[in-house]
Structure 1
Amino acid sequence: MTGIYQTAVVFGVLALLALVLRYFAGNDRRAVPDLDGTDFGLLSEVALVPTEEAANVLVRKLKTNGVRATRSRNAPYRIMVFPQDVANAHLVLKT
């Protein structure tokens, strides 16, 4: 009889733990992942270039002028910056 009682207590504790975890961590409402590669989150596009080398040159130019920048992984390459840096990035890229 003790074995059945202990087994029931173990399953009860596991069920309670599962409910607590489900309540606090089980409701994932994040957006669907970007599968087509067009959503860059907080970043804004400031340039679009056809080659990887051109993208790297522009990113280096922006970074040397104090603008945080990155590029997309696939051609055509998008040069992206944070929204507060868009105006500065346009100024740097014009020169």
Structure 2
Amino acid sequence: MGNSIKSAQFLMEARQLRAAGGSADECFDLGVAYSCGTGGLSVDLVEAHKWFNLAALRGSGEGQSMRAEIAGEMTAREIAEAQRQARAIIAATQLRAA
């Protein structure tokens, strides 16, 4: 059982790395996974907001809508943390591209 958990964690980390430098759709899909708790994930609105924010920044209208929807269920501190994490990903991907 421990191996399946480690496998799932590895797959999720790989998925996050691809999404961080990838398309709006990949970011949106991660936002959905974290907002609904699918794919073995626990519901995590900070993570969901972060991925919806990145999707919105990459042109996803759905990402923008979902980000606004879950923000209504979050505290100002949680939203600020999600935004901080999104900015960190943007900065890291810009450094890799340079």
Same fold (TM over 0.5): no
TM-score range, shorter chain: under 0.3
Which structure dedicates a bigger proportion of its chain to strand? 1
TM-score where L is the length of structure 1: 0.26
TM-score where L is the length of structure 2: 0.25
Specify the structure having the higher radius of gyration (Cα): 1
